[in-house]
Chain A
Amino acid sequence: MPEEGMEDSKGGEERPKWNNKAEYLLTCIGFAVGVGNVWRFPYLCQIYGGGAFLIPYLIALVFQGLPLLYLELAIGQRLRMGSIGVWNSISPYLGGVGVASMLVSFCVSLFYNTIVAWVLWYLFNSFQEPLPWSQCPLNHNNTGYVEECVESTPVNYFWYRQTLNITPNMETSGSLQWWMVVSLATAWSIVYICFVRGIETIGKAVYVTATFPYLVLTIFLVRALTLPGAYEGLIYLFTPDWEILKNPQVWLDAATQIFFSLSVAFGGLISFSSYNSQKNNCEKDAVLVGVINSATSIYASIPIFAILGFKAHTNYVTCLNGNILALTNEFDISDMNITVENYEQWFDSLNGTHPSRVSDLKLKTCDLQTFLDQSASGTGLAFIVFTEAVISMPGSQVWAVLFFIMLFSLGLSSMFGNLEGILTPLHDLKLVPKWMPNELFTAIICLLLFLMALIFCLGSGNYWLEIFNSYVGSVPFLIIAFFEIIAVAYIYGIGRFSDDLEFMTGHRPNIFWKVCWLVISPLMLFVVLVAYVAVQAQTPPTYAAWNPDYVNFPNTEVLPYPDWVFAICVLLSSVPVISIPLVAIYRLICCMSGRHSKDSLHNNPNPYANEDYVVELLL
């Protein structure tokens, strides 16, 4: 068993340590709980049969999520290095896994902070009366409202025109939107200030960013349950449709949702646990983080759906009131004689006596179920659907501010993990010059990321963000996680890993963990990966464009990706993971030529890897 003195042999540099366990746990929870828990999980719950979706979701959590989480926290804590160092230590041939983790974290940081910048923009705009997305602006000569706004809705107009200033297609790049650049600069400054002193400042920041969302969710829960229509929304969400479990797409989406929600394969969790002392029970930590993440998803979906039910109810009442006004004006019935309650009777009697006049009015069919079915996820949920609901709530500014601060905290705490997945490997690779203080290095990285993220501030920025989200934020992670689990379970060896776990936690892992690591999790990951790629290959690569000149405007125009854009998509998916075979081949060549490589890998000798013995075997 290696002694504890080993870590001090790295030239006397003390590794930073967490102030207390609570900071470490809150940071991991904050990293795992992100905006996806609020705007992706409730949507999946809704379209996949409500309460029935919880079954594949929880199965995926237990058999895939928790083992991966435990694995990452354990190896980080044991080997006390970032992702690149850890995978180099486990097997030099798999050092590419760490490089892939770092590259993917880099790409994700780019677009994730842009989403945080959008949240900040909406937050800044929530301090006005009336809210800017509640009414259409006037056109140039003050004769009427802006046409684009009238044809769609004020909320859509504020998002697509006044926030994004989106171009009609991807070929038109548009120009840099200065207000977006300003918001992005603010987002990166806030990330930097939390990273200035490494985990010292992060540990302080997460006391707020990890706990505040729960406070806001509770406030929204209480408020939402008192709104009319909330009950219908909740029933709609949780009514289980057991038939849906026969659809394999449901199981695939549950597995991918759990996987992306726990933020494994980013390298951030490995970095965070590497700052722990080795004698820490990471099994308990892993189970705690995983369970809290899923519980947060379920807890968040309750106020979200109560509010969506309220919005559907409001839209339904507005639709009915429009019809009532039309009938009242046409037949000169006394004001407020027709109400929402007796609308049906009035309509039937009027339609019976004067059917032609009634049909000339072109009344809309108002169905509450149709309004409830209008689901949305992602940015559509937060910036279009929810902002519309907030307008109808009394005291809109307060609710808007609370909601966007909550989204901001969720995004910021996830950014900590993303950025940590880039910084720690670079520190461990000793790529930082000795003369450069950490603060300067972090500042340079943040500045570099900010400048690269400026492409998302162009007119076509949203389209690019969707591309990054779909192609970088999906398949590479599955591949990396698959290699991670194969590396630890088969190459490092489950026996050696159990010894390490016994050293750290005091007991060997029980049969459940072993079976998961050896068989179930790799199998599930492989199946999910293959199925995901198959599904993606079948769907033609298209995107939804917002084009005011489109014939069916305000519906979005479905356009295919241009060839050069599609090439970029393929590059984004493959370049991060190409480092895995590349590094393996490079190491193989090094070893075959028999050179003793003097790279940093061998400054930290793994006591189990004796190069002389290996060379002899190859000869």
Chain B
Amino acid sequence: MLVWILFLLCQVGAPALAQDLCQRDAPNGYKVRISLKTALGEDAYEWNQSEMFFFQATMAFAMRRHFQMETYNVDNIILCVQTSRVSFWFVVTSPDNTTMLIPKADVEKAVRMSRHRINNAFLLSDRTLEFLGIYPTLAAPVNPDTPPWLIVFGVVIGAVCAGIIALLVSSLLQKRRKEKGMTEDGQDEEDMQVKGVENGINLDGTYNRGFTDDDRFTKL
């Protein structure tokens, strides 16, 4: 009988004790804030007791992962002050002694270690599953070996240089062809002059009309 009364007292007292351990602004507790609709929009699931249980299980897993020797259980994670935000407070008790709380620093280390796993368990991110007081580590910037802009610059400058060289070479070849044409046949020279240069390349040298082939006009 006595044992039975003691057992009843424990059942009543334990939650009451747990209530004392977990409260708003508890020195060893953390506030968690979850924004389901922001993260998932239409696919947001409902936050109910099962989800709370899942959270307890995830936190127990995180504690186990960090402190590899100790076996944490769902009962070691105590939740309280739940609001419709969704936000709540939680504290972690030691598996050996349920009245002793794990210090804040250790809980933080455990959370940091498994943050990625905890986020993924709930399909959330660092921004939508917040542990107030535990700042997410900033993502390391992607630093490629060659800055991408240098690659684009290389392509552009290569094309431009190739174009300049091609144009200069073709100008040179054209000039040489013209000089060869001038020395070989005076007729060609006059035809070119008469047609006029439409494309803008200045002819070097002076055109002397006195040396045109006058025979052209007398062959009627």
Contacts and interface: CB of A to CB of B under 8 A. Distances in A.
A13 B200 CA distance: 11
B141 A197 contact: no
Interface in A297-346: 328-329, 332-336
A197 B148 contact: no
A19 B141 contact: no
Contacts of A193: 160, 163-164, 167
Interface residues of A, number: 47
Sorted nearest first, the 3 A-B pairs with minimum C-beta distance are A16-B200, A12-B207, A336-B37
Interface of B: 33-38, 83-87, 138, 140-141, 148-153, 156-157, 160-161, 163-164, 167-168, 171, 175, 196-208
A189 B158 CA distance: 11
A185 B154 CA distance: 12
A336 B33 contact: no
B49 to A, nearest CB: 17
A186 interface: yes
B152 A200 contact: no
B38 A127 contact: no
Contacts of B161: 189
Contacts of B148: 125, 127-128
A144 B138 contact: yes
Contact of B83 (A125, A275, A332, A439): A332
B38 A336 contact: yes
B138 A335 contact: no
A197 B85 contact: no
A201 B167 contact: yes
Contact of A189 (B84, B164, B203): B164
Interface string A11-44: 1111011010000000000000000000000000
Contacts of A177: none
Contacts of A328: 85
Nearest to B151: A127
A199 B205 CA distance: 21
A562 to B, nearest CB: 34
Contacts of A124: 149-150, 152-153, 156
Contacts of A14: 196-197, 202-203
20 contacts: A12-B205, A13-B202, A14-B196, A17-B197, A17-B199, A19-B199, A125-B148, A128-B149, A142-B140, A144-B138, A145-B138, A179-B149, A189-B164, A196-B171, A197-B167, A198-B201, A329-B33, A335-B35, A335-B85, A335-B86
Contacts of B150: 124
Contact of A121 (B149, B160, B196): B149
B157 A439 contact: no
A182 B160 CA distance: 14
Interface in A410-446: 434, 437-439
B207 A335 contact: no
B192 to A, nearest CB: 10
Nearest to B140: A142
Nearest to A135: B141
Contacts of B167: 193, 196-197, 201
Contacts of A201: 167
Contacts of A125: 148-149
A198 B200 contact: yes
Nearest to B149: A124
A48 interface: no
Contact of B198 (A19, A137, A179): A19
A70 interface: no
A387 to B, nearest CB: 15
Contacts of A143: 138
A190 interface: yes
B168 A439 contact: yes
Contacts of A145: 138
A333 B199 contact: no
Contacts of A179: 149
A53 interface: no
Given A16-B202, A189-B164, A193-B163, 20 more contacts: A12-B203, A12-B206, A17-B197, A124-B156, A125-B148, A127-B152, A138-B141, A142-B138, A186-B153, A190-B160, A197-B200, A197-B201, A200-B199, A200-B201, A201-B167, A328-B85, A332-B85, A335-B85, A336-B35, A438-B202
A145 B141 CA distance: 11
A439 B149 contact: no
Contact of A335 (B37, B156, B164, B202): B37
Given A16-B200, A335-B35, A329 B157 contact: no
A456 interface: no
A93 B70 CA distance: 100
A399 interface: no
A182 B150 CA distance: 10
A197 B38 CA distance: 60
B85 A200 contact: no
